[in-house]
Amino acid sequence: MSIMKAKLSTLAIVFTLTLLPLAANASTILATGSTWEYTFADPTADPLWSTTGGAGWLTGPAPFGNVCCNGDGFDFATLWPADGTDGDDLWVRKAVDFTGFSLSSIGWDLGVDNGYKLYLNGALVAGANAEGYTFKWEYSGTFAGALPGMNILAVALEDHGGATAFDMQITGDAVAVPDPVSTLPLLLAGLGILGIGRKRSR
């Protein structure tokens, strides 16, 4: 390989290193206690209920439930009255922004008494139903269908009577953007290498 080709290869590496994102850092995307749209009136007759459809939705902060002051992290901020075993009785949804996050790193954690069906952008992600009270975190998973930018999260929730509870969080690796000031010396060094290579090749 000629000296010039070697220097060009070095410069290409320098440019690549300059433009690559920095190491990812784990961050909270959706915090516990976040505010959601919610309804107790079954919205599922509208096929778009889990994204943007329907009217008359209320807003309120999680946790949703009817239990207070037992130190489990589910002290309710929005009342979810107890219901029977007749299927879903609370529906919640929220827009979440995945901009700047590594999509493959995004994960969710959820606690509910008693059952849930989790949707992202209208597609079912996961669901489960269990007797007994909940804990942090009873269920966890990832989003196979996550998109860059805004996504719509929705959850259909079911209670079997007695205590109720729901809250969740989403975390992911935030991809840092290189700081132009900090990468400038590396870029200048690469240009210097190219200049030396040109002088030697003459």
The parent domain of residue 134 ranges over 24-176
Mean pLDDT of 193-199: 50
Q: 114 with 153, same domain?
A: yes
31 and 128 share a domain? yes
Q: Which among 199, 201, 187 is positioned nearest to 13, based on CA atoms?
A: 187
Q: Assess whether 184 and 147 both reside in one domain.
A: no
pTM of the full structure: 0.77
Confidence band of 59 (pLDDT split at 50, 70, 90): very high
Helix axes 180-201, 3-19, angle to 10 degrees: 170
Q: Are residues 160 and 182 in the same domain?
A: no
Q: Are 68 and 11 in a shared domain?
A: no
Percent of the chain at pLDDT > 70 equals 75
Residues 52, 7, single domain; the answer is no
| Domain identity same for 124 and 193 | no
Shared-domain flag, residues 56 and 153 = yes
Same domain, 1 and 32: no
The answer to whether residues 137 and 182 belong to one domain is no
State the average pLDDT over residues 71-84: 92
Q: How far is CA 31 from CA 4, 62, 88, in A?
A: 53, 10, 24
- Label residue 71 by pLDDT band (50, 70, 90): confident
115 and 187 share one domain: no
Q: Sorting pLDDT into bands at 50, 70 and 90, what band is 13? A: very low
**pLDDT tens digits, 132-161:** 899 999 999 999 999 999 999 999 999 999
Q: Domain tally for the chain?
A: 2
Check whether residue 158 and residue 187 sit in a common domain. no
Q: What is the pLDDT of residue 123?
A: 97
* Average pLDDT along the chain: 83
In the prediction, which pLDDT does 88 show? 96
- 152: domain CATH number? 2.60.120.260
